[in-house]
Each structure stands twice: as structure tokens, then as C-alpha cells.
Chains A and B, each alone.
Chain A
Amino acid sequence: MSGHPRHPGGLPRPEHLPRTEALLLPLADRLLPLRPVEPGRPGGPGPHRPPRRPRPLRSAAHQVRAELRHAGKVFAAEALKQHRTMFGQPLVVASMLIWPLLQLAATYYTLHPIAAGSAAAARWPLAADPAKLLGFLATGALAWAFFFSLVQSAWNFSYERTTGTLELLFLSPAGRLVLMLANGAGALLQNAWLLTCFLGAAAFGFGSLQVAGCWTYPVVLLALLLPAMAWGALLNSLMVFSRDSTFVYTVLDDPMWFVGGVRLPVFALPGLLRVFGAALPLTGSLAVVRGALLERQDLAELAPALARLAVLCVLLLAGAVLALRLGEARAQRTGGLRLV
């Protein structure tokens, strides 16, 4: 409250008013919408400013560095946010460790009568050895837990929409795609402990791992994490612009393990389901992970699967960018958060 309050004619003088109104009047005065033709008054165009000098052109390397720094900041902030809201919740432990283990045991015993049958080993060499069958199902369960944790984190991300913080995110200077990627990456970071435990247990305990060399472990990690991040970015972009996220959650829960070859080798699926499965990054990730950990494949044998996976990642990210562009353009036009 500075300067002399103006008293437009026709209003009583402040000393004749009750005290609160005397306080509020000047404020109300300042907030009155004034005619925009009076220069120098609030609401008017203000004093004339000289035009800005154009900024000097920066080198491309400098720009890339600035972009990366920006992305790093967004990543760190989003990961911290997720860590504070999600980590250590009983739900995370249950859904990432206890449930997959129970499910894995049930699946193993369900398939056991088939795998131990007389005709199975000829069609599927893995089936002959119970330890290998368990390894096959365990890698499936691990990859599925990862990809599904992203479905869950995207489902949580849709709460930004219902609680009204999504507008704040979009108003902030953070890049949209970086934000979507960061949310998924945050979920993955939360679950890194699970991967570490699994790989440790598998490397020393299973005895059924067939690994070509030490280099396979980083390849396996990247083949799990990068597609999962791209997948998470696409899901987040779709969830932000969809009204009923529960349905998406339902559709991606059971059908995902079915067509992704989580509990069955892909050759057992009929052709149409294989086509669906090929569109899921989970399927490609599993092919690489199983090939590297269970079948002693080297880099040359893994190359086609890795190339396919890379192409799929690019497509997923492009889909995420497209969904964000379309959704935001529509939101600016109509004010509704919908994709179509």
C-alpha cells in the first residue's frame, strides 16, 4: 500500500467509513478495470519502451549443453517428488516384490505338468530342465514388474490431472517430453533395488544362467531400462489426456503379459497375438534379456533384436511427442484436456 489513494467522485470519504472498508477501498480502487486509453495509469499501456536488442547467436554445443542441464534439473526434481510421495510405501513393496513372487510360483506350477510332459522337450528345449523353466518365468516376471510399474506410475501421474496440478506443470518452463520421461525414469529409479536383487540372486544362486560374458549385464540393463522409459513417456502422455485412466490400466494389466510372452514362449502364441506383442516394447526387451541371460547369445546374435528395440523406442517417443502436441494444442483451443 503506497502512494495516495485516489477517491473517485461520488464515493464517501474514508474517514466516514468503517475501518475495514477504509483499508480496502484503495485496494479496490487499484483493482478497478480502467479505460485502457489513459497512459501512465494502472491498466494502461505504460511508458514507451525501446525495442530489445537481439540476443547474440549461441553455438550449437552451448545450446545442447543448456538443454541437457535443463533436462537434468527436471529429472532430478521429478525423481525427488516421486521419491517423497511413493518410496517406502507398503504398496510398492507388495506390487514389486511379494505379488510377482506369488504369481511366479503359481505360474511355474501351472505350467509344470505341461513342461514335464513327454512331448514338450522336443518343441521347447527349455522345458526339459525345471531350473531353466524357472529362469525363463523369472526373467519374464522381472521384466513385467518393471513395465507394469510404469503403467502404475502413469496411473499415478493421472492424479496430477484430477488434483489440478497438471496446469501448474504445463505453466512451468519445464519441457513437456522431458517431464513425461522424468516421471517414468523416477519410477524406474525407485525400483532399481529390485533389479539389483534379482540380478544378484540370478548370477550367484540360480546356476541356470548361460551368459556369454560380463558385458551382457549392462546390455541387459539398458535393454530393460531404455524401452521402459520410452514406454513410460508414451503412457504418461496418453494418461494426461485421457479421462478414464482406470480402463487403460485394466487393458494393460493382464493382456500385456499374455501377448508379451511373459509366461509363454512367443512361438506358442497365434499369429495375430504375435503382431500385437511385437508392438509392445516388453516383448522386445524380453527377447534380449532371455537371449543374453539364458541362451548364451553374443552381441552379433542379439543385434537384430536390439535394432528392433531401438526402432520401437524411437517410435514410442515420437508417439509421446505427438500426443503431447495434439493434446496441448487442443487444450489451448478448447480448454479441455482430451486428445481427440
Chain B
Amino acid sequence: MEKIIRNLSIGLIILMIFAPLGLLAVGETFGEWGPEEVKEKLGFVPPGLEELSDLWSAPMPDYAFVGGDESMSMSSVAYILSAVIGVVIGGGLLYFIGKKAAKN
């Protein structure tokens, strides 16, 4: 059991280090366009879409630093940091929830 957790954790850390490879995939994801991209496609922005689209300002939008320079190294650092934040908070929350929930 401990061996499995250890090995899976090593796998996870390797994935985190290589996470910036995900930045190489340039291209848009279907249905995840910003209002500007929608305008380019259609010539207009649906009014409801425009209204809702800026509802929330995330502290690290698109796994990047706000106002940070967009060099590949800077983006990679932000991307790995995002992975670390996701792993620590996400894993931590689930560990806490799991400890509370598990009976035996």
C-alpha cells in the first residue's frame, strides 16, 4: 500500500515537472473562447454571453501570473506553480475530507 502511494506520488511529481508541455498546444478549445474570439467568429457577441463572461476574476487566470510577461520560461514557472497549488489544495482538501469520512 505505502509502495503504491509512493510510486503514484513519484509519477505525479514527474507529471507536474512536465506540465508546461501542456503549454505547447496552441489552439483554441471548442466552446472556451473569450468574448473577443466569439466576435471574430460571428461578428457579434451574444449579449448574455458578454454580460456573464466577466463575472469572476480569477487570481491566476489560465494558470498564469496576472500581468506577468508571457515568455515561455515565465509561463512555465506559473504553470508548474499552478500544478503545485492544485495538488496541495486539491489533495489537501480531499485528505481532510477523507480523514473525516473514513470509518475503518
Q: Do A and B bind each other?
A: no
Residue ranges of A at the interface with B (Cβ–Cβ < 8 Å): none
